Structure 1
Amino acid sequence: MSLVIWAEGRLVAPEEAALSAVDHGITVGDGVFETCTVFDGQVFALTRHLARLRRSATGLGLEAPDEEKVRNGAAAVLEAAVAADGPFDGRLRITVTAGVGPLGSMRVPGAQSVVVAAQDSVMAPESSSARSPWPRNERSPIAGLKTTSYAENVVALAHAKAEGADESILPNTVGDLCEGTGSNVFVERGGELLTPRLDSGALAGITRALVLEWGAEAGLPVREARPGELPFSVLDEVTAGAAHLALTSSGRNVQPVTRLDGVEVAAGELTLAARDVFENLCRERLDP
């Protein structure tokens, strides 16, 4: 299917102008977004995504997004997409910006722009990842917020792409494992599946949270790491075959890393078990 876009109450073509040239989301990256998985033409975990959208907006100092407006946009996009090509698997992106503003960093209170887009896509079964030479700043005022100020991630991912990888894994400024540019990370070691703490600077991923919840429900030994338990050097254990790595996100679900820094690595048994649990439940529990 082609890309379907809804902007401020109307469907627009991909090549059609939808926002002002002086929208703060364009001029200074002043906005927040969510990317949701679509299963059979329906949005997965929309309530959780909208709650995180609200947290990101308020953390950025924006007014809480109009949830009804966002839901209406999502419904309009999916209705148009399904009408054109039938139910599909893919992704839906919700973007909320500070709206039209001045050419500087100051914003105009009360202005806001909402754009929703949907497109079909296929998730890759595994990942080839690379270590980032740049850290995530866990002390940044936007750490843990899903903002449209994404340039750091773009640069880190481009570096990984140049290395033949599809994701870049970042440390934080104190040398702990943090996250990928658009994913959370899990390390399988010592008979457990561990993910970095959120105070590492990592985003509170929707899929990450569900892996912790559903994994525990299924009896899997999955948990947040203790302080200092996952240094960035744990990736040396992965390339040595003593540990295993997985990525989670709305674009990946639970995805084993089978190549790290050009080294072939194996998927872990717990990783594959967590992937099976997630795949079995995500279509049954559409709004967990």
Structure 2
Amino acid sequence: MDDRAIAWLNGRLVDADAPQITLRDHGFTVGDGVFESVNLTPAGPFALTRHLRRLARSARGLGLAEPDEATVRDAVADVTRAWREHGGERGAALRITWTPGPGGAGSTRPAPGSPGTLAVLATASRAHAPATVWRSPWPRNERGALAGLKTLSYAENAAALAHAHRMGATEAVFGNTRGELCDGATSTVFLEDADELVTPPLSSGALAGVTRELVLEWAAMEGLPVREQHLPLSALLSVPHVAITASSRGIAPVVAVEGRARRPGPLTLAMAEVFARRRTSDPDP
């Protein structure tokens, strides 16, 4: 197991295993902050521009100042260079984290104009087990303050994922408060029937996944039928094919839904080929 890690914090490379963050940081005390997970490929950080766009959008959605994009890009470049200098020919997962910085122990944020905390961490990419899913017993609130934002307040995802693991699945799938299909704890969900791939619209409360966005765009360019549509959560159990998308794995077929086997769909497999080809040809689409 490759347990190497390269870390950058507030302007410099640091020891990833040494204490670095103050215990008063608002990201630590109340989960107030945003993050991105970026796939580091041999060609560089994949879709970095889209990830930074979403990082800024999530910060605005929380009412936080946006991190300086040039600084984030410099930090990613420093970490990428260090990862490769330390023998990191394999792919890596880059985690970009932004918080408002140190504050009090309560929920009141640091004063406006505080410098904030910016961190970038690289760790070795991990192999994924075949995707199996289980419905979360708790809904996603599509009208909540965090809907559609990639925030550090990730406890509901962790709880749903732990429940899925107890049920023998690798991923949890959320419905929303209206009983509609929403998204996965760490992924976007696509359903496939005989004619098309369908994913819930962002108004369902789903995160605006970068891979989701690329699948929608690239499928249209390649003539593969794909669209957004509100769907009942129960559709997860009735369709013949299910797929999930995530930055760490592209698009992958789901092989079981709540213990019932599913075959990879032909459109899912076709889209996986398109994604692999286009990701190789354009590292920052």
2:266 matched residue in structure 1: 269
Matches within 5 A, 1:130-279: 130-225=134-229, 227=230, 230-238=231-239, 243-279=240-276
Deviations 1:175-231 (A, max 9, x none): 100000011000002411000000000001000010011011111001111x4xx11
> What is the rounded CA distance, in whole Å, between the counterparts of 1:131 and 1:71 in structure 2?
37
Q: Secondary structure at the match of 1:85?
A: coil
1:47 matched residue in structure 2: 49
1:85 matched residue in structure 2: 87
Q: Is the 8 A contact 2:199 2:227 kept in 1?
A: yes
Q: Is the 8 A contact 2:67 2:98 kept in 1?
A: yes
Q: Which consecutive residues of structure 1, in runs of 5 or more, have no partner in the other structure?
A: none
Shift of 1:14: 2.5
2:283 pairs with 1:286 = yes
Matches within 5 A, 1:91-130: 91-108=93-110, 109-111=112-114, 112-124=116-128, 126-130=130-134
Q: Which consecutive residues of structure 2, in runs of 5 or more, have no partner in the other structure?
A: none
Shift of 1:91: 1.2
Q: Is the 8 A contact 2:237 2:257 kept in 1?
A: no
Shift of 1:41: 5.9
Shift of 1:125: 6.7
> What is the rounded CA distance, in whole Å, between the counterparts of 2:71 and 2:107 in structure 1?
26
Deviations 1:25-57 (A, max 9, x none): 000101000001111161000000000000000
TM score, norm. by length of structure 1: 0.95
Query: Residues 244, 185 of structure 1: CA spacing in aligned structure 2 closer, same or farther, 3 A cutoff?
Result: same
Shift of 1:236: 1.9
> What is the rounded CA distance, in whole Å, between the counterparts of 2:279 and 2:100 in structure 1?
33
Deviations 1:157-181 (A, max 9, x none): 0001111111101100001000000
